[in-house]
Amino acid sequence: MTVFSLIEILGTLAFAISGIRLASAKHFDWFGAYVVGFTTAIGGGTLRDLMLSLTPFWMLDSSYLVVTAFALGIVIVLGRYLIRLNNTFFIFDAFGLGLFTVVGIEKTLTAGFPLWVAIIMGTITGAAGGVLRDILINEEPLIFRKEIYALACVFGGVVFGLCQWLGMAGGSLQIATAVSVILMRVVAVHYGLKLPVLK
């Protein structure tokens, strides 16, 4: 298994758990929670692939369905423990954000698009699934109401370009990009960093 494949699986698991965890807090049944988790995990990547004129990735590989089912099992078994931890959702969401930003950037570059397009697609891959999740559970999307979120993906894209320019490649480049997004999100939440509100 390559580093990129591992990043895809871990990103799917992280986002699915974040979606299912919020669905459980809203008292969804198991199927409803699974739908929310799956949508969270594949939503951004589906939008990316459609915009790049590609077949949505999850239609070519059933493993995403299985990983989401595994995430549901984790929440069912550890449900009370996960819901009691207020930072659980944030942790999984931050990891999913970082990992899927890398996936979006890499897939866009592989499709032959320039880096600036890859940064946009990386941001969509990382953030759009969370928007769909929040709509499904009837919440104002996190991207519009909390600390820096989508901009962390943009920051990760800039780090990707800089590291690539410095000669990094492969797994080290992917890990550095994911870590930069996660750290940016953690710092933003810790210090309450937000963009000015439009009045």
Cα dihedral 25/47/168/4 (nearest 10): 60
In a domain, 48, yes or no: yes
C-alpha separations of 32 from 24, 47, 61, 126 in Å: 9, 21, 22, 22
In a domain, 141, yes or no: yes
pLDDT at 49: 95
In a domain, 7, yes or no: yes
In a domain, 29, yes or no: yes
pLDDT tens digits for range 70-85: 999 998 888 777 666 6
* Percent residues over pLDDT 90 in the chain: 56
In a domain, 196, yes or no: no
Confidence of residue 193 (pLDDT cuts 50, 70, 90): confident
In a domain, 199, yes or no: no
Domain coverage including residue 135: 3-191
In a domain, 47, yes or no: yes
State how many domains the chain has. 1
C-alpha separations of 8 from 73, 81, 125, 153, 182 in Å: 19, 26, 11, 16, 15
In a domain, 129, yes or no: yes
pLDDT tens digits for range 95-144: 889 999 999 999 999 999 999 999 999 999 999 998 999 999 988 887 77
pLDDT tens digits for range 46-65: 999 999 999 999 999 999 99
| Alpha helix positions (H), the chain | 3-25, 30-51, 63-84, 88-110, 115-136, 142-145, 150-165, 170-191
**Whole-prediction pTM value?**
0.87
Token pair, residue 193, equals 């960093």
30-48 mean pLDDT:
95
The b-or-e profile of 55-91 (16+ CB within 10 A means b, else e) is: eebbeeeeebeebbeebbebbeeeeeebeeeeebbbe
The b-or-e profile of 136-145 (16+ CB within 10 A means b, else e) is: bbeeebbbee
